[in-house]
Amino acid sequence: MNKTVICPGSFDPVTLGHIDVITRASKMFDRVIVGVLVNTAKKPCFSTQERMELLTESVNGLDNVEVVSFDGLLAEYCKKHGIDAVVRGLRAMSDFEYEFQMAITNKRLNPGLETIFLTADSDSMYLSSSMVREVGSMGGDISNFVPECVHDKIVERISKKKQTA
């Protein structure tokens, strides 16, 4: 039986925590789709295309992982594309309430859709994209927070954003 899951998020930018969850999911499921959310209400640091490129480079070598973008309701996207489950990473207890609400909402919208929570690795429990942007914008070293293969691109963008602000 082939099982397809989606790891949705904004990935602005991708962090080692994201890569940990994606890698672990790729070992448990036949196909993992990394879904980059297009949210027109937010002004991301990286464009959707850039986020997809950073993720694609970061998951290079994980043969069963595909990076896509989507907008609209996750539950509808999953129904349309035959996705069996949503995989979400949980960093701390504070993540759980929001993620639990989303899981219940998605289940109501798409009764066949399951949500699977993976606890963050202890090395990345504190890590978020907003933390990476904040540390990077203040000149801090983010090399322990983001994939090495995309580190320089992220630093360059964050530095540019600070200069234009």
Active site residues: 18, 42, 91, 129
Strand-pairing partners, residue 88, are 117
Q: Which amino acid is at 94?
A: S
**What contacts 129, CB < 8 A, 6 or more positions away?**
10, 11, 12, 13, 14, 15
Q: Are strands 65-70 and 85-90 parallel, antiparallel or unpaired?
A: unpaired
**d(Cα 31, Cα 2) in Å, to the nearest integer?**
8
**d(Cα 1, Cα 12) in Å, to the nearest integer?**
33
